Chain A
Amino acid sequence: MIRKKTLFVNIILMLMVVSLIVLPLVTVKNGKFAGSDDNATKAITMIDKNYKPWIKPIWEPPSGEIESLLFACQAAIGAGFIGFYLGYVKGKKNGNR
């Protein structure tokens, strides 16, 4: 079993992260929370008006939905392995007792 103190500390840490994520959504009025990629384009062309991107991505997700799907897959694969690892080491530790 996980020690009570660790569990407590981790729950607090989790809540802090969640509030850090929620806070901007509540406090920032008129925030668009847009993807930052398009804005990067603008900023560079503002400094150098003649700059044209000299190469395009080989493939782009056809829509925002597909892009979210792929980002979700990335997170899911990572989270899946994290869960697998923690389960593995927990089981191993308990089995050794």
Chain B
Amino acid sequence: MKKIELITMFMLFLLTPEISYSMHIMEGFLPLKWCIIWDLAALPFIIAGAMTIGKKLKENPKLKMLLGFAGAFAFVLSALKIPSVTGSCSHPTGVGLGAILFGPFTMSILGLIILLFQALLLAHGGITTLGANTFSMAIVGPIASYAIFKGIKKVGGPNWLAVFLSAFLGDLLTYVTTSFQLAIAFPAEKGGFTVSFLKFMGIFAITQVPLAISEGLLTVLVINLLMEYSKEELIELDVL
């Protein structure tokens, strides 16, 4: 009887579509070795982020408000758990905006602060997994966003498209990174890393696609507002 129950539960788990993951890796769910590896991997980017912020604000102290604005945008978006087509919830990252405005490294610091807040007060993410989560959300996401934004601008794409794709793909790539981090720490018994990666990806990607679209649209909306009211700063930051 017990065995049948177990098998049924297992099958149910396999067949239920609402399996999803929190964007952040939970406390205790990454072996210590990987926690340390990702801490070390994140460190140089954090330092680069701190230096960029210091330099930008020294050059132009007026940008402080706009930097706060980019942080606030990510703060709001990462607090909103939004339903998705898979029947589960996840949240956007909101770091694409900061990357577009301030370059690839600035959001490492702001993302770290957000993740620390969520780990300490909300038990969302974790202290031991802070390095890994910072790496996916505050380093890979923003660097991808920045590269995509500049790339599309370079080939002469319209501004709104560059902003949209930058935020959309930055959000998705954050999830790809988290899948990678989980898969490399938890390779499947049969098939190893690839099977685990595809499994994590399959679940992540589908849930995140509509949210990433929302994030892209909201980032376009916010850039539209900044073009109305903060055009000088945008020109100064080489966004337009």
- The answer on a CB contact under 8 Å between A28 and B85 is yes
- The answer on a CB contact under 8 Å between A56 and B229 is no
Asked whether A32 is an interface residue with its Cβ less than 8 Å from the other chain, the reply is: yes
Query: Bound state CA distance, A76 and B84, in angstroms?
Result: 23
Asked whether B122 is an interface residue with its Cβ less than 8 Å from the other chain, the reply is: yes
Query: Bound state CA distance, A28 and B16, in angstroms?
Result: 13
Please, how many residues of chain B have a CB less than 8 angstroms from a CB on the other chain? 73
Nearest residue, chain A, Cβ from B20: A36
- The answer on a CB contact under 8 Å between A57 and B27 is yes
Asked whether B127 is an interface residue with its Cβ less than 8 Å from the other chain, the reply is: yes
Query: Bound state CA distance, A59 and B124, in angstroms?
Result: 10
Q: Which of B19, B69, B82, B214 contacts A85 (CB 8 A)?
A: B69
Residues of B within 8 A of A82 (CB): 69, 72-73, 76
Query: Bound state CA distance, A16 and B21, in angstroms?
Result: 25
Give 1 or 0 for each of A1-18: 1 = CB within 8 Å of chain B CB: 011001001100110110
Residues of B within 8 A of A88 (CB): 65
- The answer on a CB contact under 8 Å between A40 and B217 is no
Chain B interface residues (CB < 8 Å from chain A): 10, 13, 18-23, 25-29, 31-32, 65-66, 68-69, 71-90, 117-124, 126-128, 182, 186-189, 196, 199-200, 203, 207, 210, 213-214, 217-218, 220-221, 224-225, 227-230
Chain A interface residues (CB < 8 Å from chain B): 2-3, 6, 9-10, 13-14, 16-17, 20-21, 23-25, 27-28, 30-37, 39-44, 46-48, 51, 53-61, 67, 70-72, 74-75, 77-82, 85-86, 88-90, 93
Given contacts A33-B18, A74-B122, 10 further A-B contacts (CB under 8 A): A20-B217, A21-B82, A43-B21, A44-B186, A57-B127, A72-B79, A75-B79, A78-B75, A85-B69, A89-B65
